[in-house]
Amino acid sequence: MTTTTIPQLIDGEWQVSRSEQTLPVTNPATQEILCYAPYATPDEMEAAISSAKAAFEEWREVPPSERARFMMLYQALLKEHHDELAEILARETGKTFADAKGDVWRGIEVAEQACNIPSMLMGETAENVARAIDTYSYMQPLGVCAGITPFNFPAMIPLWMFPLAIACGNSFILKPSEQDPMTPNRLAELFLEAGFPKGLLQVVHGGKEQVDTLLTHPQIKAISFVGSVNVGQHVYRTGNQHLKRVQAMTGAKNHMVIMPDADKNQVINNLVGASIGAAGQRCMAISVALFVGEAAEWIPELQVAMAKVKPGAWDDAEAGYGPVISAQARERILGLIAQGKDEGATCLLDGSDCVVEGYPDGNWVGPTLFANVTPEMSVYKEEIFGPVLCTMSPETLDDAINLINQSPFGNGTSIFTSSGLVARHFQHHIEVGQVGINVPIPVPLPFFSFTGWKNSFYGDQHAYGKQAVRFYTETKTITARWFDAGMSSGPNMTINLR
Protein backbone atom coordinates (compact mmCIF):
# COMPACT_ATOMS: atom_id res chain seq x y z
CA MET A 1 0.00 0.00 0.00
CA THR A 2 1.05 3.60 -0.55
CA THR A 3 0.58 6.80 1.40
CA THR A 4 0.89 8.96 -1.69
CA THR A 5 -1.98 10.74 -3.39
CA ILE A 6 -3.66 8.40 -5.84
CA PRO A 7 -3.88 9.57 -9.46
CA GLN A 8 -6.90 10.36 -11.58
CA LEU A 9 -7.62 8.93 -15.02
CA ILE A 10 -8.02 11.85 -17.41
CA ASP A 11 -7.75 11.65 -21.21
CA GLY A 12 -6.47 8.10 -21.08
CA GLU A 13 -3.56 8.91 -18.74
CA TRP A 14 -3.04 8.55 -15.01
CA GLN A 15 -2.36 12.03 -13.69
CA VAL A 16 -1.41 13.32 -10.26
CA SER A 17 -3.86 16.06 -9.31
CA ARG A 18 -2.65 19.63 -8.91
CA SER A 19 -5.12 20.09 -6.07
CA GLU A 20 -3.81 20.96 -2.63
CA GLN A 21 -6.91 19.47 -1.01
CA THR A 22 -6.79 15.74 -0.21
CA LEU A 23 -8.56 13.28 2.06
CA PRO A 24 -6.81 10.41 3.86
CA VAL A 25 -8.12 6.94 2.97
CA THR A 26 -7.79 4.72 6.03
CA ASN A 27 -8.06 1.06 6.90
CA PRO A 28 -11.20 0.98 9.12
CA ALA A 29 -9.72 -1.76 11.31
CA THR A 30 -6.46 0.03 12.12
CA GLN A 31 -6.74 3.68 11.01
CA GLU A 32 -3.61 3.11 8.91
CA ILE A 33 -3.51 5.66 6.09
CA LEU A 34 -3.53 3.72 2.83
CA CYS A 35 -3.38 6.71 0.47
CA TYR A 36 -4.76 10.18 -0.05
CA ALA A 37 -7.63 10.98 -2.40
CA PRO A 38 -7.42 14.33 -4.23
CA TYR A 39 -10.24 16.75 -4.87
CA ALA A 40 -10.13 17.36 -8.61
CA THR A 41 -9.55 20.98 -9.63
CA PRO A 42 -12.04 22.76 -11.94
CA ASP A 43 -9.51 22.52 -14.77
CA GLU A 44 -9.14 18.78 -14.22
CA MET A 45 -12.90 18.29 -14.24
CA GLU A 46 -13.17 20.26 -17.47
CA ALA A 47 -10.34 18.27 -19.05
CA ALA A 48 -12.03 14.98 -18.14
CA ILE A 49 -15.38 16.09 -19.57
CA SER A 50 -13.82 17.42 -22.78
CA SER A 51 -11.86 14.23 -23.28
CA ALA A 52 -14.96 12.11 -22.68
CA LYS A 53 -16.89 14.16 -25.23
CA ALA A 54 -14.18 13.66 -27.88
CA ALA A 55 -13.98 9.94 -27.14
CA PHE A 56 -17.76 9.59 -27.47
CA GLU A 57 -17.80 11.07 -30.98
CA GLU A 58 -15.56 8.24 -32.22
CA TRP A 59 -16.87 5.43 -30.00
CA ARG A 60 -20.49 5.94 -31.02
CA GLU A 61 -19.53 4.82 -34.55
CA VAL A 62 -18.01 1.54 -33.33
CA PRO A 63 -20.42 -1.34 -34.07
CA PRO A 64 -22.03 -2.91 -30.98
CA SER A 65 -20.42 -6.27 -31.77
CA GLU A 66 -16.96 -4.67 -31.55
CA ARG A 67 -17.89 -2.94 -28.30
CA ALA A 68 -18.96 -6.34 -26.96
CA ARG A 69 -15.58 -7.83 -27.84
CA PHE A 70 -13.81 -5.16 -25.81
CA MET A 71 -16.16 -5.92 -22.92
CA MET A 72 -15.41 -9.63 -23.20
CA LEU A 73 -11.73 -8.88 -22.72
CA TYR A 74 -12.54 -6.64 -19.77
CA GLN A 75 -14.71 -9.14 -17.92
CA ALA A 76 -12.03 -11.79 -18.44
CA LEU A 77 -9.45 -9.47 -16.83
CA LEU A 78 -11.81 -8.79 -13.93
CA LYS A 79 -12.11 -12.52 -13.32
CA GLU A 80 -8.36 -13.01 -13.59
CA HIS A 81 -7.76 -10.29 -10.97
CA HIS A 82 -10.78 -11.16 -8.84
CA ASP A 83 -8.91 -11.98 -5.64
CA GLU A 84 -6.49 -9.07 -6.04
CA LEU A 85 -9.43 -6.66 -6.39
CA ALA A 86 -11.08 -8.24 -3.35
CA GLU A 87 -7.99 -7.73 -1.20
CA ILE A 88 -7.71 -4.06 -2.15
CA LEU A 89 -11.41 -3.66 -1.45
CA ALA A 90 -11.20 -5.45 1.90
CA ARG A 91 -8.33 -3.31 3.14
CA GLU A 92 -10.01 -0.01 2.36
CA THR A 93 -13.58 -0.92 3.35
CA GLY A 94 -12.92 -3.34 6.22
CA LYS A 95 -15.03 -6.09 4.62
CA THR A 96 -14.05 -9.68 5.21
CA PHE A 97 -12.23 -11.25 2.28
CA ALA A 98 -15.18 -13.52 1.48
CA ASP A 99 -17.59 -10.58 1.47
CA ALA A 100 -15.19 -8.50 -0.63
CA LYS A 101 -15.02 -11.28 -3.21
CA GLY A 102 -18.81 -11.24 -3.37
CA ASP A 103 -18.75 -7.47 -3.96
CA VAL A 104 -16.38 -7.92 -6.90
CA TRP A 105 -18.26 -10.86 -8.36
CA ARG A 106 -21.66 -9.17 -8.37
CA GLY A 107 -20.04 -6.40 -10.43
CA ILE A 108 -18.44 -8.87 -12.82
CA GLU A 109 -21.89 -10.30 -13.50
CA VAL A 110 -23.00 -6.94 -14.90
CA ALA A 111 -19.87 -6.69 -17.04
CA GLU A 112 -20.76 -10.13 -18.39
CA GLN A 113 -24.24 -8.89 -19.23
CA ALA A 114 -22.73 -5.92 -21.07
CA CYS A 115 -21.13 -8.45 -23.44
CA ASN A 116 -24.67 -9.16 -24.69
CA ILE A 117 -25.17 -5.58 -25.81
CA PRO A 118 -25.85 -6.25 -29.54
CA SER A 119 -29.12 -8.05 -28.80
CA MET A 120 -30.12 -5.52 -26.12
CA LEU A 121 -29.74 -2.63 -28.60
CA MET A 122 -32.12 -4.10 -31.14
CA GLY A 123 -34.98 -1.76 -31.95
CA GLU A 124 -38.47 -2.44 -33.26
CA THR A 125 -39.95 -2.57 -36.73
CA ALA A 126 -43.32 -2.84 -38.38
CA GLU A 127 -44.03 -3.12 -42.10
CA ASN A 128 -46.97 -1.40 -43.82
CA VAL A 129 -48.07 0.73 -40.88
CA ALA A 130 -49.86 2.63 -43.65
CA ARG A 131 -49.84 1.94 -47.37
CA ALA A 132 -46.23 1.37 -48.43
CA ILE A 133 -45.00 2.99 -45.21
CA ASP A 134 -42.68 1.19 -42.76
CA THR A 135 -41.70 2.27 -39.26
CA TYR A 136 -38.62 1.19 -37.36
CA SER A 137 -36.66 2.39 -34.34
CA TYR A 138 -33.01 2.56 -33.36
CA MET A 139 -31.46 2.83 -29.89
CA GLN A 140 -28.61 5.34 -30.04
CA PRO A 141 -26.16 6.45 -27.32
CA LEU A 142 -26.65 9.68 -25.38
CA GLY A 143 -23.12 11.06 -25.08
CA VAL A 144 -21.11 11.66 -21.91
CA CYS A 145 -22.57 9.89 -18.86
CA ALA A 146 -21.41 10.04 -15.24
CA GLY A 147 -21.60 7.88 -12.15
CA ILE A 148 -21.39 8.86 -8.47
CA THR A 149 -20.81 5.80 -6.32
CA PRO A 150 -20.90 5.04 -2.56
CA PHE A 151 -18.35 3.59 -0.15
CA ASN A 152 -20.14 0.35 0.66
CA PHE A 153 -19.70 -1.38 -2.73
CA PRO A 154 -16.64 0.17 -4.42
CA ALA A 155 -16.43 -2.58 -7.04
CA MET A 156 -20.01 -3.67 -7.61
CA ILE A 157 -21.67 -0.27 -7.96
CA PRO A 158 -19.18 1.24 -10.46
CA LEU A 159 -19.50 -1.98 -12.47
CA TRP A 160 -23.28 -1.58 -12.40
CA MET A 161 -22.75 1.66 -14.30
CA PHE A 162 -19.86 2.18 -16.70
CA PRO A 163 -19.73 -1.22 -18.50
CA LEU A 164 -23.33 -0.91 -19.70
CA ALA A 165 -23.07 2.80 -20.44
CA ILE A 166 -19.94 2.29 -22.53
CA ALA A 167 -21.28 -0.85 -24.23
CA CYS A 168 -24.28 1.27 -25.30
CA GLY A 169 -21.88 3.62 -27.10
CA ASN A 170 -21.39 6.35 -24.50
CA SER A 171 -18.31 7.62 -22.70
CA PHE A 172 -18.29 7.72 -18.90
CA ILE A 173 -16.92 9.77 -16.01
CA LEU A 174 -16.72 7.95 -12.67
CA LYS A 175 -16.61 9.90 -9.38
CA PRO A 176 -16.19 7.17 -6.76
CA SER A 177 -16.50 7.58 -3.01
CA GLU A 178 -13.55 9.45 -1.57
CA GLN A 179 -13.56 6.98 1.35
CA ASP A 180 -12.41 3.98 -0.72
CA PRO A 181 -11.16 5.08 -4.16
CA MET A 182 -8.41 2.48 -4.59
CA THR A 183 -10.72 -0.27 -5.85
CA PRO A 184 -12.34 1.92 -8.55
CA ASN A 185 -8.89 3.03 -9.69
CA ARG A 186 -7.85 -0.59 -10.11
CA LEU A 187 -11.03 -1.31 -12.08
CA ALA A 188 -10.05 1.52 -14.41
CA GLU A 189 -6.50 0.20 -14.79
CA LEU A 190 -7.89 -3.13 -15.97
CA PHE A 191 -10.25 -1.25 -18.30
CA LEU A 192 -7.24 0.36 -19.99
CA GLU A 193 -5.50 -3.00 -20.12
CA ALA A 194 -8.47 -4.41 -22.04
CA GLY A 195 -7.58 -1.99 -24.85
CA PHE A 196 -10.58 0.35 -24.86
CA PRO A 197 -9.97 3.58 -26.79
CA LYS A 198 -8.46 6.53 -24.98
CA GLY A 199 -10.84 8.76 -23.02
CA LEU A 200 -13.87 6.45 -22.86
CA LEU A 201 -13.56 6.11 -19.08
CA GLN A 202 -12.41 8.97 -16.87
CA VAL A 203 -11.96 8.68 -13.09
CA VAL A 204 -12.01 11.85 -11.01
CA HIS A 205 -11.95 12.14 -7.23
CA GLY A 206 -13.48 14.61 -4.83
CA GLY A 207 -16.61 15.59 -2.95
CA LYS A 208 -19.66 17.82 -3.35
CA GLU A 209 -17.98 20.43 -5.55
CA GLN A 210 -16.92 17.79 -8.06
CA VAL A 211 -20.35 16.15 -7.96
CA ASP A 212 -22.06 19.48 -8.61
CA THR A 213 -19.80 20.06 -11.61
CA LEU A 214 -21.07 16.81 -13.12
CA LEU A 215 -24.67 17.67 -12.27
CA THR A 216 -24.57 21.06 -13.94
CA HIS A 217 -22.15 20.70 -16.84
CA PRO A 218 -23.96 20.93 -20.20
CA GLN A 219 -21.92 18.10 -21.78
CA ILE A 220 -23.10 15.52 -19.21
CA LYS A 221 -26.26 13.83 -20.48
CA ALA A 222 -27.04 11.25 -17.77
CA ILE A 223 -26.16 10.77 -14.10
CA SER A 224 -26.31 7.50 -12.16
CA PHE A 225 -26.06 7.80 -8.38
CA VAL A 226 -26.09 5.50 -5.36
CA GLY A 227 -25.94 6.94 -1.85
CA SER A 228 -27.87 8.58 0.95
CA VAL A 229 -31.39 9.99 0.65
CA ASN A 230 -30.40 13.62 1.19
CA VAL A 231 -27.61 13.53 -1.39
CA GLY A 232 -29.78 11.50 -3.76
CA GLN A 233 -32.54 14.10 -3.65
CA HIS A 234 -29.99 16.81 -4.37
CA VAL A 235 -28.56 14.82 -7.28
CA TYR A 236 -32.01 14.16 -8.73
CA ARG A 237 -33.30 17.71 -8.42
CA THR A 238 -30.12 19.41 -9.60
CA GLY A 239 -29.61 17.01 -12.47
CA ASN A 240 -33.19 17.41 -13.63
CA GLN A 241 -32.99 21.19 -13.38
CA HIS A 242 -30.07 20.98 -15.79
CA LEU A 243 -32.02 18.72 -18.17
CA LYS A 244 -30.15 15.49 -17.47
CA ARG A 245 -31.40 11.99 -17.10
CA VAL A 246 -30.95 10.84 -13.51
CA GLN A 247 -31.27 7.52 -11.74
CA ALA A 248 -30.69 7.97 -8.01
CA MET A 249 -30.73 4.92 -5.76
CA THR A 250 -30.93 6.11 -2.17
CA GLY A 251 -31.96 4.96 1.31
CA ALA A 252 -33.77 1.91 2.57
CA LYS A 253 -35.45 0.33 5.56
CA ASN A 254 -35.94 -3.29 4.55
CA HIS A 255 -38.31 -5.62 6.39
CA MET A 256 -38.38 -9.41 6.56
CA VAL A 257 -41.69 -11.10 7.42
CA ILE A 258 -41.44 -14.42 9.25
CA MET A 259 -44.52 -16.63 9.22
CA PRO A 260 -45.04 -19.37 11.86
CA ASP A 261 -45.01 -22.06 9.13
CA ALA A 262 -41.51 -21.13 7.95
CA ASP A 263 -38.44 -23.29 8.55
CA LYS A 264 -37.07 -21.87 11.81
CA ASN A 265 -33.43 -22.75 11.22
CA GLN A 266 -33.49 -21.29 7.73
CA VAL A 267 -35.10 -18.12 9.05
CA ILE A 268 -32.53 -17.59 11.78
CA ASN A 269 -29.50 -18.37 9.60
CA ASN A 270 -30.69 -16.16 6.75
CA LEU A 271 -31.76 -13.34 9.03
CA VAL A 272 -28.44 -13.19 10.86
CA GLY A 273 -26.49 -12.90 7.60
CA ALA A 274 -28.90 -10.45 5.99
CA SER A 275 -29.01 -8.10 8.98
CA ILE A 276 -25.43 -7.90 10.25
CA GLY A 277 -23.40 -9.18 7.29
CA ALA A 278 -21.05 -6.49 5.92
CA ALA A 279 -21.60 -4.74 9.29
CA GLY A 280 -25.12 -3.89 8.08
CA GLN A 281 -23.70 -1.52 5.46
CA ARG A 282 -25.85 -2.73 2.58
CA CYS A 283 -28.75 -0.82 1.07
CA MET A 284 -30.55 -4.18 0.86
CA ALA A 285 -29.73 -5.29 4.42
CA ILE A 286 -32.64 -6.49 6.53
CA SER A 287 -32.99 -4.03 9.38
CA VAL A 288 -36.48 -4.94 10.64
CA ALA A 289 -37.74 -8.50 11.30
CA LEU A 290 -41.50 -8.91 11.61
CA PHE A 291 -42.24 -12.14 13.49
CA VAL A 292 -45.92 -12.85 12.82
CA GLY A 293 -47.99 -14.55 15.53
CA GLU A 294 -46.32 -17.55 17.16
CA ALA A 295 -43.11 -16.95 15.20
CA ALA A 296 -42.24 -14.33 17.85
CA GLU A 297 -41.24 -17.24 20.09
CA TRP A 298 -38.11 -17.65 17.91
CA ILE A 299 -36.60 -14.28 18.89
CA PRO A 300 -34.58 -15.70 21.84
CA GLU A 301 -32.96 -18.22 19.49
CA LEU A 302 -32.18 -15.42 17.06
CA GLN A 303 -30.48 -13.57 19.90
CA VAL A 304 -28.28 -16.59 20.64
CA ALA A 305 -27.34 -16.97 16.97
CA MET A 306 -26.45 -13.29 16.57
CA ALA A 307 -24.34 -13.32 19.72
CA LYS A 308 -22.11 -16.00 18.19
CA VAL A 309 -21.09 -13.73 15.29
CA LYS A 310 -17.86 -11.86 15.93
CA PRO A 311 -16.46 -8.98 13.88
CA GLY A 312 -12.81 -8.99 12.87
CA ALA A 313 -10.17 -7.93 10.39
CA TRP A 314 -10.50 -8.63 6.67
CA ASP A 315 -8.03 -11.58 6.73
CA ASP A 316 -9.53 -13.25 9.82
CA ALA A 317 -11.27 -16.35 8.48
CA GLU A 318 -13.36 -16.56 11.68
CA ALA A 319 -14.73 -13.02 11.40
CA GLY A 320 -18.40 -12.69 10.51
CA TYR A 321 -17.99 -9.12 9.32
CA GLY A 322 -15.58 -6.21 9.56
CA PRO A 323 -15.61 -2.70 11.04
CA VAL A 324 -17.88 0.07 9.83
CA ILE A 325 -16.32 2.46 7.36
CA SER A 326 -15.33 5.36 9.63
CA ALA A 327 -15.19 6.60 13.20
CA GLN A 328 -17.96 9.06 12.34
CA ALA A 329 -20.19 6.24 11.09
CA ARG A 330 -19.52 4.29 14.29
CA GLU A 331 -20.45 7.24 16.49
CA ARG A 332 -23.69 7.73 14.56
CA ILE A 333 -24.62 4.06 14.98
CA LEU A 334 -23.81 4.09 18.70
CA GLY A 335 -25.92 7.22 19.08
CA LEU A 336 -28.92 5.52 17.49
CA ILE A 337 -28.46 2.43 19.69
CA ALA A 338 -28.48 4.66 22.79
CA GLN A 339 -31.53 6.52 21.46
CA GLY A 340 -33.34 3.22 20.93
CA LYS A 341 -32.82 2.31 24.58
CA ASP A 342 -33.94 5.76 25.73
CA GLU A 343 -37.10 5.55 23.62
CA GLY A 344 -38.16 2.27 25.24
CA ALA A 345 -36.97 -0.50 22.91
CA THR A 346 -35.68 -3.62 24.64
CA CYS A 347 -32.00 -4.13 23.81
CA LEU A 348 -31.54 -7.90 23.83
CA LEU A 349 -28.01 -7.71 22.47
CA ASP A 350 -25.83 -4.59 22.68
CA GLY A 351 -22.73 -4.23 20.51
CA SER A 352 -21.85 -0.71 21.64
CA ASP A 353 -18.75 -1.75 23.60
CA CYS A 354 -17.39 -4.21 21.05
CA VAL A 355 -13.64 -4.86 21.25
CA VAL A 356 -11.59 -6.90 18.77
CA GLU A 357 -8.32 -8.21 20.15
CA GLY A 358 -5.30 -6.77 18.38
CA TYR A 359 -7.28 -3.96 16.75
CA PRO A 360 -7.95 -1.38 19.47
CA ASP A 361 -8.46 1.47 16.99
CA GLY A 362 -10.97 -0.25 14.72
CA ASN A 363 -14.45 1.11 14.02
CA TRP A 364 -16.11 -1.86 15.70
CA VAL A 365 -19.80 -2.30 16.44
CA GLY A 366 -20.95 -5.66 17.71
CA PRO A 367 -24.21 -7.41 16.75
CA THR A 368 -27.14 -5.50 18.23
CA LEU A 369 -30.73 -6.74 18.58
CA PHE A 370 -33.78 -4.78 19.66
CA ALA A 371 -37.24 -6.09 20.58
CA ASN A 372 -40.50 -4.26 21.29
CA VAL A 373 -39.72 -1.68 18.66
CA THR A 374 -42.50 0.68 17.52
CA PRO A 375 -42.78 2.75 14.31
CA GLU A 376 -42.28 5.99 16.24
CA MET A 377 -38.78 5.05 17.45
CA SER A 378 -35.64 6.41 15.84
CA VAL A 379 -34.16 2.93 15.42
CA TYR A 380 -37.16 2.10 13.24
CA LYS A 381 -37.40 5.33 11.26
CA GLU A 382 -33.69 5.92 10.60
CA GLU A 383 -31.51 3.94 8.20
CA ILE A 384 -28.90 2.89 10.78
CA PHE A 385 -26.45 1.35 8.28
CA GLY A 386 -24.85 -0.76 10.99
CA PRO A 387 -25.14 -4.29 12.47
CA VAL A 388 -28.41 -3.49 14.22
CA LEU A 389 -31.64 -5.48 13.84
CA CYS A 390 -35.04 -4.39 15.12
CA THR A 391 -37.77 -6.96 15.79
CA MET A 392 -41.51 -6.41 15.89
CA SER A 393 -44.38 -8.84 16.41
CA PRO A 394 -47.48 -8.09 14.30
CA GLU A 395 -50.44 -10.38 14.89
CA THR A 396 -51.26 -11.12 11.24
CA LEU A 397 -49.69 -11.09 7.80
CA ASP A 398 -51.87 -8.15 6.77
CA ASP A 399 -50.68 -6.21 9.82
CA ALA A 400 -47.12 -6.81 8.65
CA ILE A 401 -47.96 -5.77 5.08
CA ASN A 402 -49.64 -2.58 6.28
CA LEU A 403 -46.62 -1.69 8.41
CA ILE A 404 -44.22 -2.19 5.49
CA ASN A 405 -46.42 -0.25 3.09
CA GLN A 406 -46.46 2.73 5.44
CA SER A 407 -42.67 3.00 5.24
CA PRO A 408 -41.40 5.85 3.03
CA PHE A 409 -38.84 3.43 1.57
CA GLY A 410 -39.42 0.60 -0.88
CA ASN A 411 -36.06 -0.89 -1.75
CA GLY A 412 -36.43 -4.52 -0.71
CA THR A 413 -38.43 -6.88 1.45
CA SER A 414 -38.78 -10.61 1.97
CA ILE A 415 -41.05 -13.21 3.45
CA PHE A 416 -40.22 -16.64 4.83
CA THR A 417 -43.08 -19.12 4.64
CA SER A 418 -43.91 -22.62 3.43
CA SER A 419 -47.25 -21.49 1.96
CA GLY A 420 -47.47 -20.54 -1.69
CA LEU A 421 -50.82 -18.86 -1.04
CA VAL A 422 -49.31 -16.66 1.68
CA ALA A 423 -46.31 -15.83 -0.50
CA ARG A 424 -48.49 -14.83 -3.43
CA HIS A 425 -50.69 -12.66 -1.21
CA PHE A 426 -47.57 -10.93 0.09
CA GLN A 427 -45.93 -10.33 -3.28
CA HIS A 428 -49.15 -8.96 -4.74
CA HIS A 429 -50.03 -6.53 -1.96
CA ILE A 430 -46.63 -5.32 -0.85
CA GLU A 431 -45.56 -1.87 -2.09
CA VAL A 432 -41.85 -2.55 -2.45
CA GLY A 433 -39.84 -2.85 -5.63
CA GLN A 434 -37.81 -5.99 -4.87
CA VAL A 435 -39.38 -8.94 -3.10
CA GLY A 436 -37.76 -12.12 -1.82
CA ILE A 437 -39.66 -15.31 -1.07
CA ASN A 438 -37.49 -17.40 1.26
CA VAL A 439 -34.63 -15.22 -0.06
CA PRO A 440 -33.48 -12.57 2.43
CA ILE A 441 -31.66 -10.13 0.10
CA PRO A 442 -33.48 -10.20 -3.26
CA VAL A 443 -30.93 -8.33 -5.40
CA PRO A 444 -31.79 -9.35 -8.99
CA LEU A 445 -29.23 -10.82 -11.33
CA PRO A 446 -28.20 -8.41 -14.09
CA PHE A 447 -30.52 -9.64 -16.83
CA PHE A 448 -33.26 -8.13 -14.65
CA SER A 449 -33.05 -4.60 -13.20
CA PHE A 450 -32.53 -3.29 -9.67
CA THR A 451 -35.96 -1.82 -8.98
CA GLY A 452 -36.29 0.08 -5.71
CA TRP A 453 -39.50 2.07 -5.15
CA LYS A 454 -40.70 5.13 -3.26
CA ASN A 455 -37.98 7.16 -1.49
CA SER A 456 -35.43 4.47 -2.27
CA PHE A 457 -35.27 5.59 -5.90
CA TYR A 458 -35.61 8.81 -7.86
CA GLY A 459 -35.83 8.52 -11.62
CA ASP A 460 -37.62 6.65 -14.38
CA GLN A 461 -35.29 3.85 -15.48
CA HIS A 462 -33.51 1.60 -12.98
CA ALA A 463 -29.97 0.23 -12.78
CA TYR A 464 -28.61 -2.55 -15.00
CA GLY A 465 -30.70 -4.96 -17.07
CA LYS A 466 -32.97 -3.76 -19.87
CA GLN A 467 -33.95 -0.59 -18.01
CA ALA A 468 -30.32 0.55 -17.84
CA VAL A 469 -29.97 0.10 -21.61
CA ARG A 470 -33.01 2.35 -22.01
CA PHE A 471 -31.48 4.83 -19.56
CA TYR A 472 -28.21 5.05 -21.47
CA THR A 473 -29.77 5.31 -24.94
CA GLU A 474 -32.17 7.49 -26.90
CA THR A 475 -34.78 5.98 -29.19
CA LYS A 476 -34.95 7.26 -32.75
CA THR A 477 -38.06 6.26 -34.71
CA ILE A 478 -38.07 6.38 -38.52
CA THR A 479 -41.18 6.36 -40.67
CA ALA A 480 -40.26 5.71 -44.30
CA ARG A 481 -41.94 5.51 -47.69
CA TRP A 482 -40.37 5.12 -51.13
CA PHE A 483 -42.32 6.46 -54.10
CA ASP A 484 -42.68 5.19 -57.59
CA ALA A 485 -44.06 7.27 -60.42
CA GLY A 486 -47.64 6.10 -60.05
CA MET A 487 -48.15 6.73 -56.35
CA SER A 488 -49.00 10.45 -56.35
CA SER A 489 -52.49 11.19 -55.01
CA GLY A 490 -52.36 14.96 -54.45
CA PRO A 491 -51.70 16.92 -51.26
CA ASN A 492 -52.54 15.29 -47.91
CA MET A 493 -54.05 18.05 -45.77
CA THR A 494 -54.51 15.91 -42.65
CA ILE A 495 -52.18 14.35 -40.08
CA ASN A 496 -53.19 10.84 -41.14
CA LEU A 497 -50.74 8.64 -43.02
CA ARG A 498 -51.96 7.41 -46.38
Tell me which residues are annotated as active site: 283
Given a contact cutoff of 8 angstroms between Cβ atoms, the answer to whether 365 and 321 are in contact is no
Other beta carbons within 10 Å of 112 = 20
Distances (CA, A) of 233 to 153, 229, 431: 20, 6, 21
Instruction: Give the SS3 label for residue 82.
Output: helix
Instruction: Give the SS3 label for residue 347.
Output: strand
Backbone angles phi, psi at 34, to 5 degrees: -90, -35
Q: List strand residue ranges (DSSP E) for 273-398, in order.
A: 286-291, 346-349, 368-371, 388-392
Which residues does 229 contact at the CB level (< 8 Å), separation at least 6? 250, 251, 383, 455
Backbone angles phi, psi at 57, to 5 degrees: -60, -30
Q: How far apart are CA 20 and CA 69, in angstroms?
A: 40
Q: How far apart are CA 449 and CA 475, in angstroms?
A: 19
Q: How far apart are CA 188 and CA 185, in angstroms?
A: 5
